[in-house]
Structure 1
């Protein structure tokens, strides 16, 4: 399923009607996540796993005016996203970079939205807690049971600070986590010994 959607994005981004339709399918999802994480124009939003059609980044900018730094580990997807955003005049406030979300390469952020297809979600949450600052907000899309093996899953959902219900085939909930200064300093090695 992941490979199918990755291939579909790379094909759809070449044709504006398909690009627009694919992008449009996720507007209601991102709108709920923006409200959940209280994203405003003052935020710097990190979108990990943006793909060739960075629909999450586009909707965040359109809904809030925030600056978005979108990462994907696939250099071809990043190149295509940059090219087509510029071609369609949608590149305002969006910076696309090659990256996998490892803590040493994460730019400063106030909010992070993690794509469904990011496999090791538990490790990604640890990375973001390490790199983030006090009050940083992190949103994950949690796959439904039948897709958890393929997409990975979060297991410590009792640590979540909130959630929204989504009406998608592959995921039904988006969860919010808030970084505390205690967590981030312990993750960086500044905990009490």
Structure 2
């Protein structure tokens, strides 16, 4: 499934109507995540795993005006994302970079949003905790059980600050973690739908 979506993104991005359709399908998902994390124009959002069509980054910018730094480990996907954003005039406030979320190369952020297809979510959470600042917010998309082996999942959810339910086939929840001054997450347990 992961490879199918990766290939699909690289193909549909070349045609503006399909680019817009693919982008539009994720709008309700990102709206809930923006509300969950309280993203505003004052934030610097780190989007890890943006792919060739950086729909999450686009929605965040369009909804909030925040600055977004989007990373993907695939140089071809990054090149395509940069090309499509520039071609369609959507590159304002979005910087696309090659990166895999390793702690030594993570830029500063106030909010991080991690794509579903990032497999080692537990390690990514540790990386973000190590470089994040007090009050930093991190959102993960948690795959449903049927896709957990393919997409990886968070196992230790005792530090979840809140969650929203999503109407997607591959994931039904997005989880929020809030960093404390000790580098660990604060637990609050809020939930919205």
The residue that corresponds to 1:118 in the other structure is: 118
Query: Any idea what SS the aligned residue of 1:182 has?
Result: coil
1:125 offset after TM fit, Å? 0.1
Partner of 2:79: 79
> Does 2:163 match 1:163?
yes
Structure 2, unaligned runs of 5 or more: 185-193
Corresponding residue number in structure 1 for 2:103 = 103
Q: What do the CA deviations read for 1:148-191 (whole angstroms, capped 9, x no partner)?
A: 0000000111210000000000000000001111126xxxxxxx
Aligned residues: 184
Measure the CA separation in 1 of the matches of 2:55 and 2:131. Answer: 24
User: Does the aligned pair in 1 maintain the 2:132–2:183 contact within 8 Å?
Assistant: no
- Does residue 27 of the first structure (1) align with residue 54 of the second (2)? no
Q: Does 1:142 align with 2:142?
A: yes
* 3-state DSSP of counterpart to 2:154: coil
Partners of 1:20 and 1:63 in 2: how far apart? 16
TM-score (ref. length: structure 1):
0.95
Does the alignment pair 1:181 with 2:181? yes
**Post-superposition CA distance 1:4-38 (Å, at most 9, x none):** 00000000100000100000000000000000000
Higher helix share: 1
Question: Runs of 4+ in structure 1 displaced over 3 angstroms?
Answer: none
Aligned to 1:62: 62
SS of 1:138's equivalent? strand
Per-residue deviation at 1:102?
A: 0.3
Task: Give the Cα separation in 2 of the matches to 1:105 and 1:50.
Answer: 16
What is the alpha-carbon root mean square deviation over aligned residues?
Answer: 0.5
Residues in 1 aligned to 2:142 and 2:56: alpha-carbon distance in whole angstroms:
15
